[in-house]
Amino acid sequence: MDILEKLMRAYFISDERPHITVNKSICQSCSSKECLYVCPAQRYTLEAEGIQFIADGCLECGACRISCKSGAITWNYPRGGFGVRFRHG
């Protein structure tokens, strides 16, 4: 099973309070933008107005939090009852 097939098995329960927030003013001075490359769910994109982030679909792996050397990302686990659900088998 490849990564895309595995991702298709996960589903998400959205929360109006995202568990990850991104300080875009810090992102503006970041030249490397690791978040664009490390996120397996491709939750970060670079648009004309700068880094965009969508929390829905996050796999809660923590890679973005670890890779962001600028400290632009505030990361918490989702509140109870929200976030990713993995289906196995």
- Which spans of this chain sit near ligand SF4 (rule: CB under 6 A)? 20, 38-41, 43, 58-64
What's the start-to-end Cα distance of the chain, in Å? 11
Of 52 and 80, nearer to ligand SF4 (C-beta) is 52
In this structure, are residues 22 and 54 in contact, taking their beta carbons and an 8 Å threshold?
no
Pull the structure tokens for residue 63. Answer: 């890679």
Least Å from the CB of residue 79 to ligand SF4: 15
Least Å from the CB of residue 62 to ligand SF4: 5
Of 28 and 40, nearer to ligand SF4 (C-beta) is 40
Least Å from the CB of residue 75 to ligand SF4: 7
Segment holding 65, helix H or strand E: helix 63-67
Rounded CA separation 48/53 (Å): 13
Of 41 and 72, nearer to ligand SF4 (C-beta) is 41
